């Protein structure tokens, strides 16, 4: 679910507990997940396979040219002019195969790039859907490992292994169809020895899969360890414990050992495949040699003898017959790495990783959907919002423990401006997380205009403005359009004017094209806060949630933000988390929470407001 404006509030302490163990998908589910992701590769995988098949047809011409040249020079003793056609065919076929091989590699790389780019986009979208509450419970190193290392590990799978699985069946079958009519014994040798390669490849691959999973886990642990050291470096230095060289060395050494185990298995698989391929080709060469010596007089069709040109043609094709199987074995470790990555990513993205949105619950955290309910499409206005005996428990809580929020009943009418107060841990953040859809109610009913909601309010009906404004590294227009991607410049200027930033806009060197963020135009705390309000004006949702919008501001900046809030509250419903008495005149109603329960609900008139002050 897309939430506008700024970063969310600090998650409650209960939400910082680690995730429970998730059941990893089995091998079949991981393979199906990887296949469903392959759709993002477009037509590039088919082009890679087509190039390989065309290269095989060109190989037939190349093998004929080599065999014809050997027959002409060694047996027929013909002149050079008679050999020129074969020489030309050989030169052209070598050039064509090189070009087709390069095009195949390019197509495989493009397919892999497209898939990995789409997967990274989907992962980031998914993190946004799950919300900051879920993200904050994950270690930053784990999130980075998923987005970068695990996605990157899929490159060889989609660029090399997956196309090779098709070619490993098609190319040997095509060559068998060519060899069998020439000599059935040679074809039989190829057909019988070919299964040895995939059998031993699978045996080695089983161990490689386990090693790859261990390597990902060790990489995750190493990343966490290093990130924790960097984060706590000031504290470690303060207590004289900054020297952590032996610990870092031990963690790095453990990761290096696991990496070498994976590499040993990869080299072992290549060695095994090369051995069986060499033995098979040698067996075919021995048969052909003994056939010419007269010791083995079988294998030909009819009474026609086997000549040197046919034998060389078969012998040249033999290594290419095993080559697809050998390449499959070389890239088999890519399959193990991809399945290990899928085991970790599938529980986050679901069984359909490319789905735009899913109703998926991960560890009790519900992701919002475009298909929230029919309310989102048929009741765009906010008439009233009702919470009936709502209770929220975080996943770390026991089912019979006191809920973080509730039981709570509350009725909010359109256009109301409500101040929500309470001590830290009283349930204010949980209430907003419930409305935003970042947590789901364990009991009770949340309804909008009389229609039940299961996962918070629809994205188009709610705007969130927190204490910290997220400034993107981009132009001012880019920073505003995250709230309304299709807004024109006039709409952007109107939003800035409503947020009391029009004078600041006119002072910028490039106006809306001025770059903000790292290396760009700096913003004061008050300007950043009003920029988040400008985003709220652009989003134009009927319900606005605000968390201490004037916190840490000086008196002048606070006054300007309050003026902008008054404009924002016109024809909108406001829920305002605050401890500041200066904000109470904006509201008509005060709610006070304590220990997750509503302990006070009263109107705010001028007298009451002065009393609060």
Show Cβ contacts of residue 39 under 8 Å, excluding neighbours closer than 6 positions: 354
Residue ranges of the chain assigned to CATH 1.20.1560.10: 26-362
Whose tokens are 């060395």? That residue is 249
What's the pLDDT tens digit per position in 222-237? 666 666 666 666 666 6
CA-CA distance, 186 to 283, in Å (whole number)? Answer: 9
Residue 416 contacts residue 573 (beta carbons within 8 Å): yes
Reported pTM: 0.65
Instruction: Give dist(CA 129, CA 501) in Å, integer.
Output: 30
Cα(54)–Cα(164) distance, rounded to whole angstroms? 14
* Per-residue pLDDT at 269: 64
Mapped onto helix, strand or coil, the DSSP state of residue 444 is strand
Residue 22 token pair: 């998730």
pLDDT value for 360: 47
Contacts of 348 (CB under 8 A, 6+ apart): 123, 126, 130, 146, 362
372-613: CATH architecture: 3-Layer(aba) Sandwich (3.40)
Please say whether the beta carbons of 50 and 100 come within 8 A. no
DSSP state letter for 431: H
* 445 bridge partner residues: 388
**Confidence at residue 396, expressed as pLDDT on a 0 to 100 scale:** 64
For 32-87, list the strands marked E by DSSP: none
Element (H, E) at 531: helix 525-539
- What stretch(es) of the chain map to CATH 3.40.50.300? 372-613
What one-character-per-residue DSSP string does 163-225 give?
HHHHHHHHHHHHHHHHHTTT-HHHHHHHHHHTTHHHHHHHHHHHHHHHHHHHHHHHHHHHHHH
Q: How far apart are CA 159 and CA 166, in angstroms?
A: 13
164 neighbors 114 (Cβ within 8 angstroms):
no
The segments of the chain whose pLDDT lies below 70 read 1-27, 200-249, 251-259, 261-270, 355-380, 395-401, 606-613
Q: Check if CATH label 1.20.1530.20 holds for domain 26-362.
A: no
Please report the pLDDT score of residue 89 as a whole number. Answer: 92
Whole-angstrom distance, CA of residue 33 vs CA of residue 5: 34
């Amino acid at each position: 679910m897309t939430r506008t404006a700024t970063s969310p509030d600090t998650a409650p302490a209960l939400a910082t507990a680690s995730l429970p163990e998730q059941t990893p998908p089995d091998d079949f589910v991981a393979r199906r997940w990887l296949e469903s992701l392959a759709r993002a590769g477009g037509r590039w995988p088919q082009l890679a396979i087509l190039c390989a098949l065309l290269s095989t047809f060109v190989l037939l011409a190349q093998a004929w040219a080599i065999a014809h040249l050997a027959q002409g020079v060694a047996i027929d003793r013909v002149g050079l002019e008679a050999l020129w056609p074969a020489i030309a065919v050989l030169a052209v076929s070598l050039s064509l195969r090189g070009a087709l091989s390069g095009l195949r590699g390019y197509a495989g790389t493009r397919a892999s790039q497209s898939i990995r780019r789409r997967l990274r986009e989907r992962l980031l979208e998914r993190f946004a859907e799950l919300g900051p509450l879920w993200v904050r419970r994950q270690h930053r190193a784990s999130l980075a490992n998923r987005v970068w290392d695990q996605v990157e590990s899929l490159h060889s799978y989609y660029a090399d292994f997956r196309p090779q699985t098709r070619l490993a069946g098609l190319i040997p079958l095509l060559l068998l169809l060519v060899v069998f009519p020439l000599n059935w014994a040679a074809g039989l040798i190829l057909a019988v020895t070919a299964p040895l390669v995939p059998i031993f490849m699978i045996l080695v691959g089983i161990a490689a899969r386990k090693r790859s999973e261990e390597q990902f886990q060790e990489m995750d642990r190493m990343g966490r360890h290093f990130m924790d050291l960097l984060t706590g470096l000031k504290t470690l230095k303060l207590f004289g414990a900054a020297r952590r060289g032996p610990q870092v060395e031990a963690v790095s050494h453990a990761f290096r050992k696991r990496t070498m185990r994976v590499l040993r298995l990869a080299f072992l698989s290549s060695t095994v495949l090369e051995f069986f391929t060499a033995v098979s080709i040698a067996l075919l060469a021995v048969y052909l040699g003994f056939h010419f010596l007269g010791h083995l007089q079988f294998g030909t069709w009819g009474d026609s003898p086997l000549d040197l040109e046919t034998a060389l043609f078969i012998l040249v094709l033999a290594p290419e017959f095993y080559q697809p199987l050998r390449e499959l074995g070389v890239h088999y470790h890519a399959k193990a790495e991809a399945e290990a990555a899928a085991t970790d990513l599938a529980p986050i993205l679901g069984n359909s990783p490319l789905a735009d949105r899913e109703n998926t619950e991960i560890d009790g955290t519900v992701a919002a959907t475009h298909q929230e309910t029919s309310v989102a499409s048929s009741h765009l206005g906010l008439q009233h919002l009702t919470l009936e005996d709502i209770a929220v428990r975080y996943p770390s809580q026991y089912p019979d423990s006191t809920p973080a929020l509730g039981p709570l009943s509350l009725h909010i009418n359109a256009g109301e401006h409500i101040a929500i107060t309470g001590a830290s841990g009283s349930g204010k953040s949980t209430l907003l997380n419930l409305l935003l859809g970042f947590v789901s109610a364990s009991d009770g009913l949340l309804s909008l205009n009389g229609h039940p909601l299961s996962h918070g309010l629809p994205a188009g009906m709610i705007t969130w403005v927190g204490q910290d404004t997220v400034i993107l590294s981009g132009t001012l227009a880019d920073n505003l359009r995250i709230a309304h991607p299709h807004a024109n410049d006039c709409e952007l200027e109107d939003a800035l004017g409503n947020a009391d930033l029009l004078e600041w806009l006119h002072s910028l060197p490039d106006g809306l094209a001025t770059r903000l963020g790292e290396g760009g135009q700096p913003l004061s705390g008050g300007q950043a806060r009003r920029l988040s309000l400008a985003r709220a004006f652009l989003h134009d949702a009927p319900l606005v949630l605000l968390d201490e919008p004037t916190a840490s501001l000086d008196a002048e900046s606070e006054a300007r933000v309050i003026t902008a809030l008054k404009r924002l509250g016109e024809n909108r419903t406001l829920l305002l988390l605050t401890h500041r008495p200066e904000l109470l005149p904006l509201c008509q109603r005060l709610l006070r929470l304590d220990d997750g329960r509503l302990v006070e609900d009263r109107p705010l008139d001028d007298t009451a407001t002065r009393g609060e002050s």
